[in-house]
Amino acid sequence: MVALSVNVNKIALIRNSREGNYPDVAAYAQTCIDAGADGITVHPRPDQRHIRPGDVLELAQLTGQYASVEFNIEGNPFAPPLDDYPGLIALVEATGAQQCTLVPDGSDQLTSDHGFDLTTTAETLMPVIARLKNLGARISLFMDADIAQIDLARQLGVDRIELYTGPYAAAWQQPHQRESVYERYREAAQHATEIGLGVNAGHDLNLDNLTAFAKIPGLLEVSIGHALIVDAIDMGLHSAVQAYRALLTQAGS
């Protein structure tokens, strides 16, 4: 069955719009866990627009209470420390996160919108990957559905890739494009599995487009934040998590 990791960045974004700690990110992460989430994902950035270093430490303590709940930290390993943001690797080291998803996002990006181009970044990633392996983290690379790039990811010795599903979600709104784009992702995931890479996915997945994607071969985990939190406005957070969890369960049956 495909695991559901809930990205709680948007909860922190709401919190940061006012002074104080309301909503409490850890308390809502607890709600996600109680509702059946398999993991909690955070994507801290140097500008601390949402998740802050203190949140990362607190969420690590929370998820550490559960043997079956994974803590996944996403981010750009090359983003420099800024103020009290210590850098991605330092946060993984401080928390013992089970998974670290490396993402090539820049400081001027609103959100992650592309995977790594390993023809230009492989050499700079190699020492980062080696250090993360020494920390015991599972390493995933944020990648486009590009078989040649996926082959390069395998050569770097990472454990998984996370397929950037923004183009899939956009194609879902255009019925004439759905089948061809879906097939590209299916082939990419199947190839990754055949060469020994685990497959995660994330970005713009929602209750409408996830049912089909969850049936892609070899898919192990989806990380969902924005859509799930929007659904929570109507459904409540506990019910929204359960709805995504039920969809993944049904897709795997």
Segment 208-244, tens digit of pLDDT: 999 999 999 999 999 999 999 999 999 999 999 999 9
For residue 160, give both structure tokens: 């998984």
Read off the pLDDT of residues 1-45 as tens digits, 9 standing for 90 and up. 999 999 999 999 999 999 999 999 999 999 999 999 999 999 999
Q: Which helix (H) or strand (E) holds 143?
A: strand 138-143
Tell me whether the omega of the peptide bond preceding residue 23 falls within 30 degrees of 0, making it cis: yes
DSSP 66: -
Active-site residue 43, yes or no? yes
The question of whether 238 is a catalytic residue gets the answer no
The catalytic residue among 50, 70, 162, 203 is 203
Residue of 70, 74, 162, 221 with catalytic role: 74
Query: Which domains, and CATH codes, for the chain?
Result: 3-251 (3.20.20.70)
Residue whose structure tokens are 């995504």: 244
**Looking at 43, 50, 162, 191, which residue is catalytic?**
43
Q: What is the pLDDT of residue 105?
A: 76
How would you classify residue 208: left for phi > 0, otherwise alpha for psi between -120 and 50, otherwise beta? alpha
Q: Evaluate the omega torsion of the peptide bond into residue 104 and state whether it is cis, within 30 degrees of 0.
A: no
Q: What is the pTM of this model?
A: 0.96
Active site residue 203: yes
DSSP H or E segment with residue 131: helix 118-135
